[in-house]
Amino acid sequence: MTPLGWELKQRGHRVTVIGPLDAQPNTLAAGLEFKAIGESEFPAGAIAQMLDQLGEMSKLAALRYTVFCLQKMAAICLQEAPKRLKEAGVEALLVDQATPEGGTIAEYLEIPFITVCSALVLNSDVSVPPHYTLWNYNPAWWGQLRNRAGYTLLSYIAKPILELIADYRREWKLPPISSSKSLYSELAQLSQQPAEFEFPRQDLPKYFHFTGPYHNSNARKPVSFPFEKLTGQPLIYASMGTLQNRLTGIFQTIAEACLGLDAQLVISLGGGFKSESIPTLPGSPIVVEYAPQLELLEKASLVITHAGMNTTLESLTQGVPMVAIPIANDQPGVAARIAWTGSGEVVPLGRVSVPILRKAVKLVLTQDSYKQNALRLQEAIRRAGGVSRAADVIEKVVATGKPVLSV
């Protein structure tokens, strides 16, 4: 969201981020205003502690815990955000799709809002698998039946959040929720994905825009890196993100799988561990707590990733193929799209071993089709328009107050 805010600020808009205290450093680094909510419930460090706990989970356990955390944050937003938004003089709201209470707050304040899909598109559609599954696209009747069952389970897990929102809507005398789709904007919905990185959907509204990713190094805190240690060999960049990256042993397996290849391995721990807490890994890869990811991707031949949406799209923006090891939340769905587009290989977490991972790495490094498909998606991202196109849509909504239809 910060690159989007940065772009809007360059266009002369005042941009304020509403969130817990742990969001303040990145927000200020992007040059945006910040208003804290939940300072007693979420003091500085609280979100980091929740992410530490989440980072040790996978699959449905992680999904349930994520919903629990989102429910706690939703309660705080519904209680405090209206007042903060009024104080800041906010006239339009950008709502991350993973915070569905935001639309209800905008309705209550009678201001327009736009849904932003920062992660995988969450709109339910029985023609595509739910975001938390590794299921591939299958239009057959049994595939749709399987998808329907997956959405039913997701609705059950997310029920506490929807009930909380429904309680506030009754209190605020707003119309009841007809479905989860009614919580998304009817003016514009923006997705970081290019359309080519999404399964064929049958049920998106006409005001849904696949704009491509929002990347901007100016909106990030600078990170140092020993570039002088790069040897000039093909670079394998491994990052398991900043959330589900505390599963011990994964970096050891990655290092062993890359041992002996004509390539140099760089591992970003993403804050999950301190670099000094990691034992010496086979092959002596460069190991850093955080990495300047955008700069390294410009040099990379392959990315080993948890299939988080940001890393995936940043890799494809540079035309770099991937080996995905999805862990939880929308990562399996992102990985399924990596496989479907042919831009990489997927190794499910339960099957990760040195021989299987080494085979996938060698395949992606040596078979040209992966690189060509990554370059195809790179071109699709270039055409999509990215943060500039997204800002155009936002400005049009704010100026007209009417839905902006996709072309």
Task: Tell me: pLDDT of 293 over 60.
Answer: yes
pTM more than 0.75: yes
Task: Tell me: pLDDT of 66 over 60.
Answer: yes
Task: Tell me: pLDDT of 276 over 70.
Answer: no
Least reliable range by pLDDT among 40-44, 72-76, 142-146, 245-249: 245-249
41: three-class secondary structure by DSSP: coil
Strand positions, DSSP E, 52-130: 93-96, 113-117
What is the per-residue pLDDT across 301-317, written as a single tens digit (0 to 9) for each?
999 999 999 999 999 99
The domain limits of the chain are: 2-212+385-400, 224-382
Q: How far apart are CA 374 and CA 192, in angstroms?
A: 16
Task: Tell me: pLDDT of 264 over 90.
Answer: yes
Architecture in CATH for domain 224-382: 3-Layer(aba) Sandwich (3.40)
Half-sphere exposure in the Cβ direction for 339 (13 Å, CA): 18
Per-residue pLDDT, averaged over 7-19, amounts to: 96
Per-residue pLDDT, averaged over 291-304, amounts to: 96
Task: Tell me: pLDDT of 393 over 80.
Answer: yes
Q: How far apart are CA 121 and CA 138, in angstroms?
A: 18
Q: How far apart are CA 20 and CA 39, in angstroms?
A: 7
Region at 46 (left for phi over 0; alpha for psi -120 to 50; beta for the rest): alpha
Q: Are 175 and 169 in contact (CB under 8 A)?
A: yes
Q: How far apart are CA 258 and CA 23, in angstroms?
A: 35
Please report the pLDDT score of residue 228 as a whole number.
Answer: 96
Task: Tell me: pLDDT of 389 over 50.
Answer: yes
In degrees, rounded to 5, the angle at the alpha carbon of residue 114 between the alpha carbons of residues 111 and 336 is 155
Q: How far apart are CA 157 and CA 225, in angstroms?
A: 41
Closest CA to 403 of 201, 185, 110: 185
**Which tokens hold the place of 88?**
């800041």
119: three-class secondary structure by DSSP: coil
Q: Ranked by mean pLDDT, which of 42-51, 274-283, 375-384 comes out on top? A: 375-384
**Confidence bin at 56 (pLDDT 50/70/90):** confident
Q: What CA dihedral angle connects 158, 164, 167 and 172, to 10 degrees?
A: -110
DSSP state of 99: -
Q: How far apart are CA 387 and CA 212, in angstroms?
A: 7
Q: 2-212+385-400: which CATH number, 3.20.20.150, 3.40.50.2000, 3.40.640.10, 3.40.50.1010? A: 3.40.50.2000
Dihedral pair phi/psi, residue 267, rounded to 5° = -115, 125
- How many of the other CB atoms lie within 10 Å of CB of 291? 22
**Confidence bin at 272 (pLDDT 50/70/90):** low
Please report the pLDDT score of residue 245 as a whole number.
Answer: 47
Average pLDDT, the chain: 92
Cα→Cα distances 250→60, 101, 234, 264, 286, Å: 19, 35, 22, 18, 15
DSSP state of 193: S
Q: Are 153 and 147 in contact (CB under 8 A)?
A: no
In degrees, rounded to 5, the angle at the alpha carbon of residue 318 between the alpha carbons of residues 257 and 29 is 100
